[in-house]
Amino acid sequence: MSVSRILFVAMLVVVVLLAAAPTDLAQCAMCRASLAGSNNATFIRNLNIGVLVLLIPPVTIFCSIFVVLRRHKGEGKDDDA
């Protein structure tokens, strides 16, 4: 299996596990406080999905920094000396 296929399967598993999580679990204390009085399951689910969507850009930036550093890891070394 290629690395991209393994990564895709891993991401798919994470998405399925997050989608199957209980809808009453909020991601932070402030979100939990705002949801404490709400009995609307749709609102709670949408808020949790919104938090996950907002998490994608910082994780992408963080991972891309490591990819760039790994690709350019050996470029500074001089093999002639």
The residue with tokens 């920094």 is: 65
Answering whether pTM is above 0.75, one says no
Please say if the pLDDT value at position 26 is more than 70.
Answer: no
Q: Which two tokens stand for residue 66?
A: 């490591």
With vertex at residue 21, the alpha carbon angle to CA 7 and CA 33, rounded to the nearest 5 degrees, is: 120
Residue 64 pLDDT exceeds 90: yes
Q: 18, 34 in Cβ contact below 8 A?
A: no
Average pLDDT, the chain: 79
**What pLDDT, on the 0 to 100 scale, is given for residue 1?**
61
